[in-house]
């Protein structure tokens, strides 16, 4: 991880930023950091938060305040504005809607509060984005499905919330890789907004619309893959290949049970810790991002997981 941050420092400097002494020393001064997840109780958000807290324990005096976005972009905007008014030293956020959060993130940066996004960024240029692999994960899943189907078959896609950057990138990687397999046909794509229950209903509708025609499912996250798997179970349908992405504990258990086929796992504990390390690096400097044209990105290393290797994701790695 030191190597990843070193690479980012080089990227930052290459963007034309200048580095000088900061007003606060992250190694000695008291700091207040806000963590604003989309939904504090969801598995990935909890793991990110735990990773942030674990990393904070290594610093002298860092307080992490958690503010639940409650899957509501307007709520997150209000929380961002409150954090700006309270003059937090830094903000880590997973944006629920990138367009809605853009002005608030711009306001925070303008107020001198560095912002680091987790997984889903905004349209604003901020100090950094620490992301799961997205485009590459979509391509990996397309290749896995095509290989399992010997290059021929029908696929349905359960998509993220329209406009979500991670969903767009996953889909792009999937579509680009699938173009190498002209025998694979996408029957239909429907958004289920990252939600298990909506995905369950969507998959049930797919099974009704395309009886005995669906060979594989690509869901943009594990929760939607789990919903698809449960819909297949309820309908008594077997042998449909189902892939998700993220690597949450329940998905790993479903792989072990044969309910879904695979996922692309990310260590969310380390992802959260990396976001705080990055933020602390900025607080410990005086990096000027005013002339940046884009947000620097760190992508976490992915692990493709199926029944053959799910046992390698040990209990301490599961979230």
Q: How many domains are contained in the chain?
A: 2
57 and 139 belong to one structural domain = no
Q: Are residues 128 and 236 in the same domain?
A: no
Does 60 map to a domain?
Answer: yes
pLDDT in tens, the chain (319 residues): 444 444 444 444 444 443 333 478 888 999 999 999 999 998 899 999 999 999 999 998 999 999 999 999 999 999 999 999 999 999 999 998 889 999 999 999 999 999 999 988 889 999 999 999 899 999 999 999 999 999 999 999 999 999 887 899 999 999 999 999 999 999 999 999 999 999 999 999 999 999 999 999 999 999 999 999 999 999 999 999 999 999 999 999 999 999 999 999 999 999 999 999 999 999 988 888 999 999 999 999 989 999 999 999 999 999 9
Pick from 1, 3, 8: which is nearest to 297 by CA?
A: 8
Indicate the length of the chain as a whole number.
Answer: 319
Residue 314 falls within a domain, yes or no?
no
Residues 121 and 196 in one domain: no
Q: Are 261 and 219 in contact (CB under 8 A)?
A: no
Question: Which class for 208: exposed (0-12), middle (13-18), buried (19 or more C-beta within 10 A)?
Answer: exposed
User: What is the domain extent for residue 107?
Assistant: 2-132+267-301
Q: Do 172 and 101 reside in the same domain of the chain?
A: no
Same domain, 44 and 191: no
| Domain CATH code at residue 191 | 3.40.50.2300
Residue 50 to residue 31: CA distance in whole angstroms: 18
Whether residue 163 sits in one domain with residue 105? no
Q: How far is CA 72 from the centre of its chain?
A: 17
Contact 38, 96 (CB under 8 A): yes
Evaluate whether residue 309 is within a structural domain: no
């Amino acid at each position: 991880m030191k190597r990843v941050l070193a690479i980012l420092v080089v990227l930052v400097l290459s963007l034309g930023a200048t580095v000088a002494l900061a007003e606060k020393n992250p190694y000695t001064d008291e700091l207040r950091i806000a963590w604003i997840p989309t939904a504090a109780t969801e598995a990935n958000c909890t793991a990110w938060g735990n990773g942030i807290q674990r990393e904070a324990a290594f610093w002298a005096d860092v307080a992490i305040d958690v503010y639940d976005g409650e899957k509501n972009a307007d709520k997150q905007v209000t929380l961002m504005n409150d954090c700006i008014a309270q003059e937090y030293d830094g903000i880590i956020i997973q944006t629920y809607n990138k367009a809605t959060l853009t002005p608030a993130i711009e306001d925070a940066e303008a107020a001198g509060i560095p912002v680091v996004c987790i997984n889903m960024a905004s349209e604003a240029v901020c100090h950094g984005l620490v992301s799961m692999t997205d485009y590459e994960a979509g391509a990996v899943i397309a290749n896995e499905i095509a290989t399992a189907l010997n290059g021929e078959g029908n696929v349905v896609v359960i998509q993220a919330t329209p406009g979500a950057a991670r969903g767009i990138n996953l889909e792009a990687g999937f579509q680009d890789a699938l173009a190498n397999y002209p025998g694979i046909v996408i029957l239909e794509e429907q958004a289920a907004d990252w939600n298990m229950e909506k995905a369950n209903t969507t998959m049930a509708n797919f099974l009704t619309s395309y009886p005995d025609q669906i060979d594989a499912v690509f869901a943009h996250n594990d929760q939607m893959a789990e919903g698809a798997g449960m819909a297949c179970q309820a309908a008594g349908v077997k042998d449909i290949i189902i892939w998700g992405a993220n690597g949450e504990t329940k998905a790993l258990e479903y792989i072990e049970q044969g309910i879904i086929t695979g996922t692309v796992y990310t260590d969310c504990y380390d992802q959260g810790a990396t976001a705080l390390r990055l933020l602390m690096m900025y607080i410990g400097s005086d990096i000027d991002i005013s002339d940046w044209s884009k947000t620097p990105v760190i992508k976490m290393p992915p692990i493709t997981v199926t029944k053959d290797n799910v046992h390698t994701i040990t209990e301490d790695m599961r979230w």
